[in-house]
Amino acid sequence: MSGIEALDVLAEQFARLPGIGRKSAQRLAYAVLKYSPEEIAAFTSAMTEAKEKIHRCPICQNLTDREICPVCADQGRDRSVICVVEDARAVMAFERVRSFSGVYHVLHGLISPMSGVTPDALTLRELLARLEDTSIREVIVATGATTEGEATAMYIARLLSPLGVKVTRLAHGIPFGGELEYADEITLSRALEGRRDFE
Amino acid sequence: MSGIEALDVLAEQFARLPGIGRKSAQRLAYAVLKYSPEEIAAFTSAMTEAKEKIHRCPICQNLTDREICPVCADQGRDRSVICVVEDARAVMAFERVRSFSGVYHVLHGLISPMSGVTPDALTLRELLARLEDTSIREVIVATGATTEGEATAMYIARLLSPLGVKVTRLAHGIPFGGELEYADEITLSRALEGRRDFE
Which residue type is seen at B86?
Answer: E
- Asked whether the beta carbons of A170 and A191 are under 8 A apart, the reply is yes
The continuous run of DSSP H or E covering B52 comes out as helix B37-53
The residue-averaged pLDDT of A135-154 equals 89
The residue-averaged pLDDT of B67-80 equals 95
CB pairs under 8 A between A and B: 134
* pLDDT tier for residue B114 given thresholds of 50, 70 and 90: confident
- Lowest-pLDDT range of B19-23, B113-117, B191-195: B191-195
| CA B28 to centroid of chain Cα atoms | 26
B44 vs B17: CA distance, rounded Å: 15
Question: Helices (DSSP H) in chain A: which residue ranges?
Answer: 5-15, 22-33, 37-53, 70-73, 88-97, 124-130, 147-160, 185-193
More confident call, B16 vs A185: B16
Query: Dihedral of the CA atoms A45, B17, A184, A77 (nearest 10)?
Result: 10
**Is B193 near chain A, with CB under 8 Å?**
no
Burial of B38 (0-12, 13-18, 19+ CB in 10 A): exposed
- Lowest-pLDDT range of A92-101, A155-164, A167-176: A167-176
Beta bridge partners, B197, equal B168
pLDDT of residue A43: 97
* pLDDT tier for residue B156 given thresholds of 50, 70 and 90: very high
pLDDT surpasses 70 at B180: no
Residue A185 to residues A62, A70, A192: CA-CA distances in angstroms?
21, 21, 11
Instruction: State which residue of chain A sits closest to B45, comparing Cα positions.
Output: A44
Q: Residues 58..87 of B with a Cβ closer than 8 Å to A: which?
A: 63-65, 70, 87
Contacts of A24 in chain B (CB under 8 A): 19
Contacts of B106 in chain A (CB under 8 A): none
Contacts of B20 in chain A (CB under 8 A): 28
Between B88-97 and A22-33, two packed helices, what is the crossing angle to 10 degrees? 140
pLDDT of residue B176: 58
More confident call, B132 vs B187: B132
**Is A28 near chain B, with CB under 8 Å?**
yes
CB contact under 8 A, A50 and B32: yes
A19-47 pLDDT, tens digit each:
999 999 999 999 999 999 999 999 999 99
Q: Is the pTM of this model over 0.90?
A: no
Percent of chain B with pLDDT over 70: 90
pLDDT surpasses 80 at B41: yes
Contacts of A7 in chain B (CB under 8 A): 50, 54, 63, 65
The residue-averaged pLDDT of A166-182 equals 72
Q: For all residues of chain B together, what is the average pLDDT?
A: 89
**Is B185 near chain A, with CB under 8 Å?**
no
Burial of A86 (0-12, 13-18, 19+ CB in 10 A): buried
pLDDT of residue A177: 65
Instruction: State which residue of chain B sits closest to A48, comparing Cα positions.
Output: B40
The alpha carbon of residue A197 is apart from the nearest alpha carbon of chain B, in Å, by: 30
Contacts of B88 in chain A (CB under 8 A): 2, 30
* pLDDT tier for residue A176 given thresholds of 50, 70 and 90: low
Which residue type is seen at A69?
Answer: C
Selecting from A13, A89, A95 the residue whose C-beta is nearest the C-beta of B30 gives A89
The alpha carbon of residue B112 is apart from the nearest alpha carbon of chain A, in Å, by: 18
* pLDDT tier for residue B172 given thresholds of 50, 70 and 90: low
B117 vs A34: CA distance, rounded Å: 15
Residue A120 to residues A61, A110, A135: CA-CA distances in angstroms?
15, 11, 26
Q: For all residues of chain A together, what is the average pLDDT?
A: 89
B103 vs B130: CA distance, rounded Å: 12
